[in-house]
Structure 1
């Protein structure tokens, strides 16, 4: 039985009312019937559809196997929903999960959103009581706070349950996952399977025989392991106890088949209460599996389409990035080539300018040199004076150049050898500056050491024949 504080906290969570006194008055007015108070509150704040249908699938002692429509209880226990579309005939019931279970696995919200397609078109909405939501004052007037099961605590409970169950009943069993309920629900969503839930009551007299002769039989275990994700929990543990309250487990052994829905709820597809034979369990599970197959196939196809669309977008994005990178690479290459050509053009222009300047400088220097040589030749020609007339003191000199050209002039016998060099330089017949005047018979070189001798002293009077010899 859910205590007053839990009912008050749950009513506040569902309705969104923050005033505890007002919530207390509403609950008291409805005899602390939580579902009746919620239905009254939601009915007074919305326009429910004309047809409100509820279905529940249960198999238990004294209870009808299969599905039935709740008659007069609908107005008191069901939230207003719209009729589901034509389906395989499976009656679904939406069960609100305890906050402490939801907070134990934060992956629920994102996981449940994608599986909302499983309940698309509308399903029966049935908000059942929750345990562990209480806050404020408890029954004894003492302060109480909700006990939130963390991820590690939920997983620890699951591992402890699997370990104890295997120790008591062996390894031939459903492969219960060693993780919290919400993680198991997420796992079933990701694998597009239904979640088989087993709530274990160690103290119930029917539990040992049910586990040994039904749940752990090879045929049932193989069928469950092949077609379902399995989660088990002991009602002695926190999460198992809260799930037993959410699913309103009234008899044990208790099994259920659920799938994720929206708004932090699960769709309860089938519940089996009380001891059953393996054949009865297989018949029920096979029927649930067959009737849920279209929904699972639709969910799988939808997920595959989303995945294919995502892969297509990724491929398109990758192709776009590759094309963009190729364009950028070509643009960089084009810019680099353009910069290279510009550098080469600039370098060629610089070299041409330097060459042109060098030619201009060389021409200018050559002109200056030629002008200087012209001045020197003129000066030397002036320094020779006028050519003397023939006479006893006049020497006749013949000069032969390497080109074969001959020049002849008369000099006073007292003129020096340097005068002969000045004469040759003034003619401008040589492009070389380093040369010597040489006589053949006998061979005599009139070098720098003899330029101060007179023609007569050098033995060149009264006449001389010299040739110009270029020095290397």
Structure 2
């Protein structure tokens, strides 16, 4: 057992490994520390682990009822070996007599091979194209043997990843082309209809020759292998491990029986892992939905704040516009008062009636009428300023002749303000005892009743 598990009982060890599988945390000490902080409550510890690194408080989580599956762990590995040979007394006696010679020969051969490999490394140690090794073997195997199980076309690492992803059993077949039992095992046992159906239904099947670097690498993971060899791999104690193997030449019925026994024994491990993953997926889905709802709520709040901000800006702009108009009107009114006061101060004494004087009847928009005499030689500005000095005069106006009705050039408020040179009254087409009309040209003007 790992160092991080040394002082734990079986129940706490199961919880520790269970937490590690859910959170994918490699450091057992870190897992143990988190569980201790949460009093070995796996659900609280998982929530705390997933909430790490989040700056803003997340929305409240929904409690998901989930119970830890307790089961009695099966043994680390089941090994079924068929070494061949008979079970008679003669066979047993021959085995006893030959065993010392076999041991001596094996020891000498192992030493010789060790020394030889120092100077001549095994080319199978150099794995350069693991996928290519497997694809070559699969093509050769399917070409040679009909009705073969469906093999995974990828490296051993890729097959492990696929098995762990789908939480399924993986069956590994290591092929030794130099073993005399390999060919009959493949044709008679591995390609048996019942065996093929069982493998394709319940397992991910991976195979390779031990004469290829990828197959040789996998064979070194197995202690004391004998061939033909099939091994069952599944998730065990939070990692993929070889949980059973069948070695030597066996019949299809024997292989099926032993595979079923291994699967039945370790199926609860995968069932528990699938339940944990399903609970985790539900938890993550609920969390994702909560996060989405939370972000949507934040977005709505932001939109409301933006809307209020825009409305406030519009109201402030409108208020500033009204205030500006008010100030402009106030300045205009003050300017009009100043101009009216000046016009009153500048009014000349009315001349007496003679040939150089004309008498005009001035009609105002309000209906008021004034008779006034003016020298013919003064400018029309004098006529305009006299009218402007009257309290009934509009702020802006134009003076018209009565017949034909026409504006008197230079005798409007706009022209008086903007022009320095103005025509004389005698040049404006006015005659003695004429009538002139004052027409309001301001914003609040209305149609004049010329007959008023």
Please say whether Structure 1 and Structure 2 have the same fold, judged by a TM-score greater than 0.5. Answer: yes
- Partners of 2:370 and 2:119 in 1: how far apart? 144
**Aligned partners of 2:240 and 2:401: how far apart in 1?**
120
Decide whether aligned partners of structure 1 residues 48 and 399 sit closer, same or farther in structure 2, where only a CA change above 3 A counts. closer
Matching of residues 3-402 of structure 1 within 5 Å: 139=115, 142=119, 153-170=129-146, 172-261=147-236, 266-373=240-347, 376=348, 378=349, 380-381=350-351, 384=352, 401=361
Question: Contact 2:343/2:386 (CA < 8 Å) preserved in 1?
Answer: no
CA deviations over 1:271-295 (Å, ceiling 9, x no partner): 1112222222222222222222211
Q: Could you state the TM-score of these two structures normalised by the residue count of structure 2?
A: 0.56
After superposition, what is the alpha-carbon deviation per residue over 1:199-235, rounded to whole angstroms, capped at 9, x for unaligned?
1111211111111111112221121011001110111
Change (3 A) 1:242 1:120: farther
TM-score normalized by the length of structure 1: 0.54
CA 1:328–1:146: 2 relative to 1, 3 Å? farther
CA–CA distance in 1 between the matches of 2:235 and 2:294? 37
State the partner residue of 1:470.
436
- Output the CA distance in 2 between the equivalents of 1:289 and 1:312: 33
Shift of 1:123: 6.8
Q: In the alignment, which residue of structure 1 is the partner of 2:426? A: 448
The alignment partner of 2:306 has SS state of helix
SS of the aligned residue for 1:233 comes to strand
Q: Distance in 1 between matches of 2:278 and 2:5?
A: 38
Structure 1 residues 125 and 405, CA, compared in 2 at 3 Å: closer, same or farther?
closer
Whether the 8 Å CA contact 1:201–1:253 is kept in 2: the answer is yes
**Contact conserved, 2:125 with 2:213, CA < 8 A, in 1?**
no
Between the two proteins, the alignment pairs up a number of residues equal to: 312
The corresponding residue for 1:129 is none
Residues 1:227 and 1:353: Cα distance change in structure 2 (over 3 Å):
same
Instruction: Measure, in 2, the Cα distance between the counterparts of 1:406 and 1:323.
Output: 74
Q: Distance in 1 between matches of 2:282 and 2:119?
A: 56
The answer to whether the 8 Å contact 2:181/2:227 transfers is yes
Report the equivalent of 1:13.
none
- 5+ residue gaps, structure 2, are 15-23, 29-67, 78-113, 403-424, 439-452
Q: Note the alpha carbon deviations across 1:144-192, whole angstroms, 9 max, x for none.
A: 7998766x7111111111111011113x222121111121111111111
Measure how far apart 1:193 and its partner are: 0.7
Give the C-alpha shift of residue 407 in structure 1: 8.1
Tell me by how many angstroms 1:335 deviates. Answer: 1.1
Larger Rg: 1
Shift of 1:268: 2.5
- Post-superposition Cα deviations, 1:320-377, rounded to whole Å, max 9, x if no partner, equal 111111111211121111111111111111111112211221222223223323xx1x
1-structure distance, mates of 2:177, 2:360: 141
- Residue 170 of structure 2: SS of its match in structure 1? strand
Could you tell me which runs of 5 or more consecutive residues in structure 1 were left unpaired when the two chains were aligned.
1-41, 50-80, 88-109, 127-137, 388-393, 410-415, 437-446, 452-465
